[in-house]
Chain A
Amino acid sequence: MANADCIVIQGSNMAEAHPVGFQWVAEAKARGARVIHVDPRFTRTSALADKHVPIRAGSDIVLLGAIINYIITNELWFKEYVTAYTNAAQLISEDFRDTEDLDGLFSGYDPETGSYDPSSWQYDDSGERDETLQHPRTVFQILKRHYARYTPELVEETCGISKDDFEYLAKSLTDNSGRERTSCFVYAVGWTQHSIGTQFIRTASIIQLLLGNMGRPGGGIMAMRGHATIQGSTDIPTLFHILPGYIAMPTAGKHDTYEEYVKAVGNKDQKGFWANGETYLINLMKAWWGDAATKENNWAFDYLPKLSGAHGTYQTTMAMLEDKVDGYFILGQNPAVGSANGRMQRMALSHLKWLVVRDFSMIETATFWKDSQEIATGELKTEEIDTEVFFMPAANHTEKAGSFTQTQRMVQWRDQAVTPPGDCTSELEFFHKLGLMIKERLKDSTDPRDKPIQDLTWDYSVDEHGEPDAEDVLREINGYHLSGEKKGQNLNAFGEMQADGSTAGGCWIYAGVMADGVNQARRRKPGQEQDEMALEWGWAWPANRRILYNRASADPEGRPWSERKKLVWWDEEQGKWTGYDVPDFPPTLAPSHRAEPGETGVKGLSGNDPFIMQADGKGWLFAPKGMVDGPMPTHYEPPESHVGNPLYPIQSSPTRVLFSREDNLYAPHVREAGNDVYPYVFTTYRLTEHHTAGGMSRFLPYLSELQPELFCEVSPELAEEAGLVNGEWATIISPRSAIEARVMVTRRVKPLQVLGRTIHQIGIPYHWAQGDEAVVSGDSANDLLGLTLDDNVQIQDSKHNAAAIRPGRRPRGEDLLDLIDKYRADAGITVDTGMVQLDRSFVQPENPLQAEQTVVDGSNRGRATISAGRKSGGDDSEKGSGAMTESSGSTGGDSDESKSSKHTKETNAAPKGSEGPTASSSGSTSGDTEKRKDR
């Protein structure tokens, strides 16, 4: 980032949430970079930026789409880069139809299921490219047409951003991109936590590819992760849909045979390194099951649990409410506070048979049974809750060795400084012992379902305190030779992995972190003693390269695009790639090389295919696969929006995941009656002074005193309109709950003029909770949130929800429920509210003529006139394998024979990797169920 000439921070409050990383923004600024912050609120990040651009929450695709249009219209795209390195020239199938053709839907939409069949989004069967980019079916022309209506005028109307500010932003980016200059984007959960958040990121990807800012110093898209080693817990995932190294989980019905599964892991017919997917899988299976994984038994494929649907944290919560989950492990997470729809979370906990909480402090998830809001309202009674809660004190990061992987994919090792006090233990020790106990219990079992646990390799050396050697685990992740002359030696690179069972490796992208038997992540050569790439500080996957796809930092002939932005290049004399960074390309693949048609895998790569993990070696302006909601980002309004979609008759994302339930009611959107009962937008966020759901900050006096009470940020105009006074109390009401907060009247929040109406946005940090144990307490902002998920990643929309606000404190006890009910009744809310999505009769008030036409058009399309979208009730999702995801409840349940008999359905326990079963290590909420599709 220090090398960027322009940094656009959007969907992130980097200075507050990532103050240490922000030093590189400060450094870039000191070197002359321009920093622009696009955010609903003026934050500490804005204070240091050259310019703050206020935006209406949820309208980011309009802004970014207009930048794409600006780049194309003004011919500002990096032509050589785009033509050679992206799929701009690729022809798309004749069957493809754009949202511009289908009133807001792409081809392939099924209104019954609310999902897309992406087969019409594929490349044309001919595989043809048109390097002139003129063919109407080239990606470039499709893109151009798709964004033609995303204009500065639309931005002004929809985002509340003036044409001058738009021009400033677009020009800053384009002036600072090209051969000599690069720009980068920074985002965080301000982008991901929307019903179309994944597409926000895609839009930025398109901009960065058009401007030639990928794979180059000072370029890229920086994902600021939720907290320490969220990247690591994605690589070695605590997610339900992938295995270590981004290997897909098998799905029942789709991958019933090993052959079907291998095709999903890494189709051998594609170009690039994913064609070797089976090798990575076999090494993982050998790491887990050792000798029990053989070619004959398909490397123990049958030991892997199979997915039966989405098993995210929210689906699991709803399964608990239906008594489908016995037990739950909570580690480094405080879902009673940190997860959306807090009441649903706490009610779900009360349905468990047992709950294990491992934390430093007695967090609210461990005490919900005695001091939660629902106890106060009488909805829960302590004596009626059957959940048995076990609290296990945890060691903190100075008390255990291990690694953190940060957003640059850099693994940094941490030594143990002191031994943990009292009964505190590390996760490693806890799960190691638990594993031994479970294996001991099952050792005589003849039940085939216990075989995966009986066969699991579980042999880590422990020190005198019972603490396993963390480097043993890292070694297993790195991989080693099982036979041959190098038997016992560590793998030095994933290229050494074999598909014949002679090597094992727990996570292929981490191969090399223990190269030469040395813990490379533990290297700490100071920055002053090496060059700027600092390749001898820590270790970054893959192969210690610091900038992914850095082949793109050189031109198609292999020469740096410019001296100023030199990174890696082709050395003609030596016949190999070289440079400051480790080249992210086959080392001797010459730029002039062209793969023979039909060649696959690494051999299929040509010398000008920098995006070596993509099936065609190119950066994707248009994504034929990988996204469930469309190959190109399209603007849809947030589900509880107060304005109509200015572009399409379709109001909100047609693939968003909805849960229509009494305990998850939605506010009416603008096309429904009652919208004005919740007339304001609220957006949740974090403060520097606290950490996520407060488990690591509200229990500490030094941090609590810095931000002692929950507050809400409102503009002076809203304060005037709603009668709020700075420093006094306000009550904020959503269809889910009502909370009270101190009022912070500030000009840092501005009302925006959007589509003929004034939009007031309220900012609410989410760190506080009702409970008796912490130093400071307060209401939880997440109680206000409803669950609407982005179907790509199952993340909730925390950044745009509707609310009412009024002066004074909220009622206590049962009266609180009456207040919530009163607002619901005023708005006429039922479980069907917010469900109607494809109402084509709606039109912008200012365009009555167009309205009638759309109705006529729409009537031709039959089924699409009524509700669509993924309606995901509890009933149709959670069958079969039960709680095998975040809750490894089933694992524990199985080991406890006295209980397991009653719950045989939940026996499909997830066998685990060396990192221990379960549990989302993510600290919480709002942010941390985020997922990435890096590779």
Chain B
Amino acid sequence: MTALMPKLYGAEDPIENARWSLHDAKDRKAFFTDTSICIGCKACEVACKEWNQNPQDGDYEYLSQSHDNTGELGANTWRHVAFIEQGEDEVAKARESGRRLVSLGMPSIGPKTAMTPEQRADAAIAGGNVDTTPPDTPDFRWLMSSDVCKHCTNAGCLDVCPTGALFRTEFGTVVVQNDICNGCGTCVAGCPFGVIQRRDDGTISPKSEPGDHDDVKNMGTANKCTLCYDRLLDGQTPACAQTCPTTSIKFGDHTDMVDKARQRVAELHAKGMTEARLYGANPKDGVGGTGAVFLLLDEPETYGLPPDPVVPTKHLGQIMASYAAASAGMVAVAALAFLGGRK
């Protein structure tokens, strides 16, 4: 058991950092969402709402965004499936941008046809020997991707919450306690992904009194995916992963999920699908990696994801140092002024 102070930013093991080792720490849990096999059925959206009893969203309006009528993640919608229609140019661009990511410092060697796809995948995992011969570029594709809270290793919402309503669970996930949340909304600005939202009627209003909104639970408080904390406590799979018919949404230990994601991206690269790339698997990114890892087939922006999310507390140290330096300077100036005055 370490006795170090919890880190405000930069912890690599969020469970340890939250001092769960003093209690009942579990293995960190995570999602791996493989968008290459998502069929856009939205069963995850429905299963999530059913399990969590979240309110219906929006005004039953057709959004003219392909088959997406949910729009975005929010207080009521904790899984959201995006639909993106792309033509030949966009496909070629995605493949090229992915190829550049893959080929950084890893030149392809050896005969291309001597290995089976599996061998190539293995080789790719082992040594980065990637055959990047693309298959026929399709002239059209329809991307689908189920988005969710990232359960960041360094979570902005959690860091900025003034009431302690947000907490780090023993599974390494981030959960809101609605009975503690006062609805201040600080976390909304603290999330670099725009995931967490206040459940409200569109106006700025204080947290409701009991009885105000009996028809809508947790009105006025912040809401987001809990990675089905209640189900995890019972050893169950989160509702979305449980219902996903094609296993596009996978759930398990964080390390397994990251491994699976790496293996899958290597497989796709071996098939020449250089557009495949991972999102959230890098522990060195601006949020220390995420507890929801994605395999994407284009730049994150295509799916409405920030390309370089940064937790607001990342620069807190620098800011504090600057404050300290500035304060010290002011003190020095003041002291000098007094000292100077004596002369």
Interface residues of A (CB under 8 A from B): 15-16, 19-20, 22-23, 26, 32, 42, 44-48, 51-52, 687-689, 701-709, 711, 726-727, 742, 744, 746-748, 775-776
> For the complex, what is the distance from the CA of A702 to the CA of B46, rounded to whole Å?
6
What 1/0 flags go to B51-81 for Cβ under 8 Å of A?
0000011101110101101100000000000
Identify which of B37, B56, B141 contacts A701 (C-beta below 8 A): B56
Q: Are A726 and B60 in contact (CB under 8 A)?
A: no
Identify which of B69, B87, B140, B142 contacts A44 (C-beta below 8 A): B142
Q: How far is the CB of B128 from chain A (nearest CB, A)?
A: 23
> For the complex, what is the distance from the CA of A51 to the CA of B141, rounded to whole Å?
10
Q: Are B142 and A748 in contact (CB under 8 A)?
A: yes
- In the complex with contacts A23-B245, A26-B246, A747-B140, A708-B37 CB distance below 8 A: no
Q: How far is the CB of A194 from chain B (nearest CB, A)?
A: 26
Q: Are B60 and A47 in contact (CB under 8 A)?
A: no
Q: How far is the CB of A520 from chain B (nearest CB, A)?
A: 26
Interface pairs (8), CB distance under 8 Å: A26-B247, A42-B142, A44-B39, A48-B39, A701-B56, A711-B62, A746-B85, A747-B85
- In the complex with contacts A42-B142, A47-B142, A747-B85, A19-B43 CB distance below 8 A: yes
Q: Are B141 and A47 in contact (CB under 8 A)?
A: yes
Q: Are A702 and B50 in contact (CB under 8 A)?
A: yes
| Complex interface residues of chain B between 144 and 196 (CB less than 8 A to chain A) | 144
Q: How far is the CB of A204 from chain B (nearest CB, A)?
A: 24
Q: Are B142 and A19 in contact (CB under 8 A)?
A: no
Chain A residues whose CB sits within 8 angstroms of the CB of B143 once the complex forms: 47
Q: Are A707 and B144 in contact (CB under 8 A)?
A: no
> For the complex, what is the distance from the CA of A792 to the CA of B39, rounded to whole Å?
34
> For the complex, what is the distance from the CA of A22 to the CA of B41, rounded to whole Å?
11
Verify if B42 is at the interface (C-beta below 8 Å from A).
yes
Q: Are A709 and B45 in contact (CB under 8 A)?
A: no
Chain A residues whose CB sits within 8 angstroms of the CB of B45 once the complex forms: 702, 706
- Pick the most buried of A32, A704, A708, A711: most chain B CB atoms within 10 A of its CB: A708
Verify if B40 is at the interface (C-beta below 8 Å from A).
yes
Additional 5 contacts, C-beta under 8 A, given A32-B117, A47-B142, A47-B144: A19-B43, A22-B245, A711-B62, A744-B64, A747-B87
Q: How far is the CB of B149 from chain A (nearest CB, A)?
A: 19
Per CB-CB distance, the 3 closest pairs between chain A and chain B, nearest first, are: A727-B64, A701-B56, A708-B60
- Pick the most buried of B39, B43, B49, B138: most chain A CB atoms within 10 A of its CB: B39
Q: How far is the CB of A24 from chain B (nearest CB, A)?
A: 10
> For the complex, what is the distance from the CA of A22 to the CA of B70, rounded to whole Å?
24
Q: Are A727 and B62 in contact (CB under 8 A)?
A: yes
Identify which of B46, B142, B246 contacts A46 (C-beta below 8 A): B142
Q: How far is the CB of B142 from chain A (nearest CB, A)?
A: 4
- In the complex with contacts A47-B144, A706-B69, A742-B64 CB distance below 8 A: yes
Residue of B nearest to A30 (CB): B37
- In the complex with contacts A748-B85, A748-B140, A708-B61 CB distance below 8 A: yes
Residue of A nearest to B86 (CB): A747
Q: Are B39 and A706 in contact (CB under 8 A)?
A: no
Q: How far is the CB of B242 from chain A (nearest CB, A)?
A: 13
Total contacts A-B at CB 8 Å: 96
Q: Are B70 and A705 in contact (CB under 8 A)?
A: yes
> For the complex, what is the distance from the CA of A427 to the CA of B136, rounded to whole Å?
53
Q: How far is the CB of B126 from chain A (nearest CB, A)?
A: 21
Interface residues of B (CB under 8 A from A): 37, 39-43, 45-46, 49-50, 56-58, 60-62, 64, 66-67, 69-70, 85, 87, 117, 138, 140-144, 245-247
Residue of B nearest to A29 (CB): B37
- In the complex with contacts A44-B142, A47-B39, A746-B66, A23-B247 CB distance below 8 A: yes
Residue of B nearest to A43 (CB): B142
Q: Are B64 and A726 in contact (CB under 8 A)?
A: yes
> For the complex, what is the distance from the CA of A511 to the CA of B61, rounded to whole Å?
51
> For the complex, what is the distance from the CA of A20 to the CA of B56, rounded to whole Å?
24
> For the complex, what is the distance from the CA of A239 to the CA of B300, rounded to whole Å?
52
Q: Are A704 and B60 in contact (CB under 8 A)?
A: yes
Q: How far is the CB of B337 from chain A (nearest CB, A)?
A: 65
> For the complex, what is the distance from the CA of A22 to the CA of B246, rounded to whole Å?
7
> For the complex, what is the distance from the CA of A727 to the CA of B50, rounded to whole Å?
29
Residue of B nearest to A19 (CB): B41
Residue of B nearest to A745 (CB): B64
Q: Are A775 and B247 in contact (CB under 8 A)?
A: no
> For the complex, what is the distance from the CA of A358 to the CA of B37, rounded to whole Å?
39
Identify which of B37, B66, B87, B247 contacts A48 (C-beta below 8 A): B37
- In the complex with contacts A15-B39, A42-B140, A708-B69, A775-B60 CB distance below 8 A: yes
Residue of A nearest to B55 (CB): A701
Chain A residues whose CB sits within 8 angstroms of the CB of B41 once the complex forms: 15-16, 19, 44, 688
Residue of A nearest to B63 (CB): A727
Chain B residues whose CB sits within 8 angstroms of the CB of A776 once the complex forms: 60
Residue of B nearest to A18 (CB): B245
> For the complex, what is the distance from the CA of A271 to the CA of B199, rounded to whole Å?
70
Q: How far is the CB of A705 from chain B (nearest CB, A)?
A: 5
> For the complex, what is the distance from the CA of A742 to the CA of B138, rounded to whole Å?
28
Chain B residues whose CB sits within 8 angstroms of the CB of A775 once the complex forms: 60
Chain B residues whose CB sits within 8 angstroms of the CB of A22 once the complex forms: 39, 245-246
> For the complex, what is the distance from the CA of A15 to the CA of B248, rounded to whole Å?
13
Chain B residues whose CB sits within 8 angstroms of the CB of A709 once the complex forms: 60-62
Chain B residues whose CB sits within 8 angstroms of the CB of A711 once the complex forms: 62
Q: Are B247 and A689 in contact (CB under 8 A)?
A: no
Chain A residues whose CB sits within 8 angstroms of the CB of B61 once the complex forms: 708-709
> For the complex, what is the distance from the CA of A48 to the CA of B42, rounded to whole Å?
15
- Pick the most buried of B43, B61, B85, B140: most chain A CB atoms within 10 A of its CB: B140
> For the complex, what is the distance from the CA of A702 to the CA of B141, rounded to whole Å?
28
Residue of B nearest to A708 (CB): B60
- In the complex with contacts A16-B41, A26-B246, A702-B50, A707-B140 CB distance below 8 A: no
Chain A residues whose CB sits within 8 angstroms of the CB of B46 once the complex forms: 702-703, 706
Residue of A nearest to B117 (CB): A32
> For the complex, what is the distance from the CA of A776 to the CA of B117, rounded to whole Å?
48
> For the complex, what is the distance from the CA of A44 to the CA of B142, rounded to whole Å?
8
> For the complex, what is the distance from the CA of A20 to the CA of B245, rounded to whole Å?
5
Q: Are B40 and A688 in contact (CB under 8 A)?
A: yes
Residue of A nearest to B56 (CB): A701
- In the complex with contacts A23-B245, A23-B246, A707-B67 CB distance below 8 A: yes
Chain B residues whose CB sits within 8 angstroms of the CB of A51 once the complex forms: 138
> For the complex, what is the distance from the CA of A26 to the CA of B37, rounded to whole Å?
7
> For the complex, what is the distance from the CA of A513 to the CA of B256, rounded to whole Å?
42
Chain B residues whose CB sits within 8 angstroms of the CB of A688 once the complex forms: 40-42
Q: Are A705 and B247 in contact (CB under 8 A)?
A: no
Q: Are A705 and B60 in contact (CB under 8 A)?
A: yes
- Pick the most buried of A48, A747, A748: most chain B CB atoms within 10 A of its CB: A48
Q: Are A742 and B62 in contact (CB under 8 A)?
A: yes
Chain A residues whose CB sits within 8 angstroms of the CB of B42 once the complex forms: 688-689, 706
> For the complex, what is the distance from the CA of A404 to the CA of B175, rounded to whole Å?
40
Identify which of A20, A44, A689 contacts B144 (C-beta below 8 A): A44
Q: Are A706 and B70 in contact (CB under 8 A)?
A: yes
Residue of B nearest to A725 (CB): B64
> For the complex, what is the distance from the CA of A16 to the CA of B144, rounded to whole Å?
13
Q: Are B64 and A705 in contact (CB under 8 A)?
A: no
- In the complex with contacts A26-B246, A706-B46, A744-B64, A19-B39 CB distance below 8 A: yes
> For the complex, what is the distance from the CA of A71 to the CA of B43, rounded to whole Å?
41
Chain A residues whose CB sits within 8 angstroms of the CB of B144 once the complex forms: 44, 47
Chain B residues whose CB sits within 8 angstroms of the CB of A746 once the complex forms: 66, 85
- Pick the most buried of B56, B57, B117: most chain A CB atoms within 10 A of its CB: B56
> For the complex, what is the distance from the CA of A237 to the CA of B1, rounded to whole Å?
68
> For the complex, what is the distance from the CA of A747 to the CA of B85, rounded to whole Å?
8
> For the complex, what is the distance from the CA of A32 to the CA of B116, rounded to whole Å?
11
Chain B residues whose CB sits within 8 angstroms of the CB of A701 once the complex forms: 56
Chain A residues whose CB sits within 8 angstroms of the CB of B57 once the complex forms: 705
Residue of B nearest to A775 (CB): B60
Q: Are B64 and A702 in contact (CB under 8 A)?
A: no
- Pick the most buried of B50, B62, B245: most chain A CB atoms within 10 A of its CB: B62
Chain A residues whose CB sits within 8 angstroms of the CB of B62 once the complex forms: 708-709, 711, 727, 742
> For the complex, what is the distance from the CA of A222 to the CA of B60, rounded to whole Å?
36
Q: Are B58 and A705 in contact (CB under 8 A)?
A: yes
